[in-house]
Structure 1
């Protein structure tokens, strides 16, 4: 009964015989197949096989000229019909909603995708044949309607996802390659924004097809939509992206505002791409940059290290844009910026943080904030001092990423704020000496290259401290080589001594030579 129901109105056999199709009959055949594709019965085994077989036979049996240029039938009408069939095939192969996944998983999706991909390959080969024959100019109209749905299908199933398999990925990859070839595009980016300055990119068409599935009510109905949107967005860069800002900004904000960490990270990466590839003037217009900042800033309260990493990278690239809108008069104190606000919150979170992955994430990004603020880092000096000392005391695993980044931060801090560091000399000196002793006495835990890097960075910090304090460090360390029995510690002190002996303390800024 299922097969009979799905083949309620099958095309007559004459459709599949040469010369057996009138223009109206051919259009009616595609219309019937489209109707069967959208029936619920066609989603099941026998019905699906039947409709695929009929569509495959119809494509193979129809000459290119008849497929794209029908006598007595509007060209646009047939092309639009092919586009609707392509959309229906893409919907066929779409992964299930989140609710369906919980009950049935992604069973059968990759098999359907492979079958649909083979049909798309046949359609695109027809386009290619018509293109090469030079006798059917209407292939361009056909490709115009096919390109968007075929592209979305190809990206949905060519990326590694829970609903794909090696076979479906290979077929989808072939579909994408053939689509680019018939479109005369050397890359996906060229396909989207247009190549050779022709301005005929298909990014607008793709976004138009995705738009109904990218609103607040529907964007989770198809789990592939967010990935297609994100991947497609990141293929388009300057100077083409800014003209699409109104289409891409709302979905990116929507995805980033989800409760799932995976979606938050995906949305933040979309926003980061926009920040990097849209001119500052466009982002400052209508207060868009401030909207971006507040949407991203709120994620700093989430204790997920992958999310924090994505957020901080995005904010660091957003700060220069935000600061363009800040007017500073030389006779007044510099106003605090969003960079100050973020650094203050990061340091607040860093002090009590005990989770290693979060500690490493914060420490990894701290040097960039000191570089960004420069001398203005003095506003945060007290809290930075506490964080630096606290993090230098804690072993961070074999790679010691957090302590290495904290030492890098300390070096930058001394270089940028050295006039204010001398009053903290004793506290910082004790922390550095303790670190050197701990590393020197560590027999097994830390690999030798990491130990060497820690000792070199700590020694550089001592040299900078000595220079910024006009040689006071060397005076405090002068008696250590005579009383210390640890050769590693003595070697570090001697390096500082050698640097101190050749230093010129009449300069204005300490540096490591």
Structure 2
């Protein structure tokens, strides 16, 4: 390497041939050998390689070098790209099982060192391209952009292998890369704001590390894939479906909850940004459905939340493939199947976080099914009554969402409500009494919201029962001495006084 450095040094001969692409390629090959060859196992060899590459960046006249063309320039650019890939791997975190102790703590330091090199390299390319008539710099940048992008995203996000300093440097690398490529955002960089799209290039670099055998060798790869995927939206994502769907399914199928959630987020992004026709082709939508349906058996509230949100957006796509003829009963849908399982899990559930997660998503299922919710009336009634009885903490999220569900249920299925008036009336009055007697635990705004929602439910219940509720409440007012309860009952009577009962 000393010879190469002498040839590329400003103190050496000044003949233009000594600044040729072939000389750069030879020097880069030496650096690459020290980073990836047998001697790369020694820390001293890697440090020398980094020093040599730093010197190479500083001593090369990039504006004159990039005036070259043809095969020598392409070979030099290719070798430079291989060095960049090697440096990105050098700064990458080790395998998950090895992420401990000194091996883990060394990663941010390496990232800062490599990030500074990338910043200087990008600065040189930026300075060189401004002096050129011939756009040969694009050839070099085409080999550098992918690995530098992966490095930046690997260390940009807050992860166990990053530090404030390494994240700062990674952010600067990303900004510099966008500046050199003349892109206004990462999304523009990926979809090719000014040049050919780079998303396929990035996916191609990640592909060897996203198969069943290797995807855990680098714990950063799944995060880079997920973050990159979510920067690309429709219509650009559709053409890459074959590249992005298998890794997303692979990550979601892992035994670790963190990976399941990450994979489901990727699948959800695909569902939202790929046309239904493409997802229905080759039964892809069914594959996604079955892949995440089984996650509903996991008692992890973060996972359940991610799965339910994804399924709610997947149902319209799955239903496009179903044909219903008006002369027959409507077939059971995937939404029915999921709601049945959710209600089965909700009934005995005692963990507050899971109860809140289920209750949070229940109104969307009732909205989705509409009048077809009658198929689940018995179980819904038990869940509603059971959840209204249990205090849910100061925010009362579960009970508020259950009241919202009950309102929707009465609006959609009002002909079936009259036979359930007594059960629902008892549950609502008990809730109002509990809230009225609660003097310490629940904040006043939450209490008011609960009382308002419960009162609205009583008004709807009265409409559905042709005024029966108003008659039953008249007896309660005479014997009740709680002003809050009486106030809620009076509201029901006032609103219902002039109502005409022809359904809701």
Give the alignment's TM-score, normalised by structure 2.
0.96
Q: How far, CA to CA, are the matches of 1:139 and 1:500 in structure 2? A: 77
- State the partner residue of 2:234: 238
Q: How far, CA to CA, are the matches of 2:163 and 2:173 in structure 1? A: 15
Offset of residue 36 of structure 1: 0.6
| Residue 321 (structure 1) aligned with residue 321 (structure 2) | no
Contact 1:69 1:75 in 2 (8 A): no
Contact 1:18 1:61 in 2 (8 A): no
- State the partner residue of 1:261: 257
Alignment of 1:79-478 (within 5 A): 79-102=77-100, 104-195=102-193, 200-478=196-474
| Unmatched tracts of structure 1, length 5 or more | 1-6
Offset of residue 186 of structure 1: 0.3
Q: 1:58 to 1:478 in 2, by over 3 A?
A: same
Q: How far, CA to CA, are the matches of 1:433 and 1:72 in structure 2? A: 84
Offset of residue 468 of structure 1: 0.7
Q: How far, CA to CA, are the matches of 1:363 and 1:73 in structure 2? A: 64
Q: How far, CA to CA, are the matches of 1:104 and 1:60 in structure 2? A: 31
Q: How far, CA to CA, are the matches of 2:119 and 2:100 in structure 1? A: 32
Q: Deviations over 1:268-320 (max 9, x none)?
A: 00000000000000000011000010001010000000000000000000000
Q: Deviations over 1:486-506 (max 9, x none)?
A: 000000000000011021213
Offset of residue 18 of structure 1: 4.6
Indicate the larger mover: 26-35 or 286-295.
26-35
- State the partner residue of 1:17: 10
Q: How far, CA to CA, are the matches of 1:211 and 1:373 in structure 2? A: 40
Q: 1:391 to 1:341 in 2, by over 3 A?
A: same
Indicate the larger mover: 43-52 or 281-290.
43-52
Contact 2:68 2:136 in 1 (8 A): no
Offset of residue 369 of structure 1: 0.2
Offset of residue 238 of structure 1: 0.7
- State the partner residue of 1:59: 57
Offset of residue 65 of structure 1: 3.5
Contact 2:6 2:12 in 1 (8 A): no
Contact 2:154 2:224 in 1 (8 A): yes
- State the partner residue of 2:485: 489
Offset of residue 40 of structure 1: 5.8
Q: How far, CA to CA, are the matches of 2:69 and 2:175 in structure 1? A: 31
Contact 2:118 2:173 in 1 (8 A): yes
The alignment yields a C-alpha RMSD, in angstroms, of 1.6
Match of residue 34, structure 2, among 26, 33, 36 = 36
Give the alignment's TM-score, normalised by structure 1.
0.94
Q: 1:258 to 1:67 in 2, by over 3 A?
A: farther
Secondary structure (helix, strand or coil) at the match of 2:345 reads: helix
Q: How many residues align?
A: 499
Q: How far, CA to CA, are the matches of 2:60 and 2:284 in structure 1? A: 52
Offset of residue 136 of structure 1: 4.6
| Unmatched tracts of structure 2, length 5 or more | none
Contact 1:86 1:146 in 2 (8 A): yes
Q: How far, CA to CA, are the matches of 2:69 and 2:289 in structure 1? A: 57
Q: How far, CA to CA, are the matches of 1:65 and 1:491 in structure 2? A: 82
Contact 1:252 1:268 in 2 (8 A): yes
Offset of residue 125 of structure 1: 1.1
Contact 1:130 1:136 in 2 (8 A): no
Q: How far, CA to CA, are the matches of 2:71 and 2:237 in structure 1? A: 38
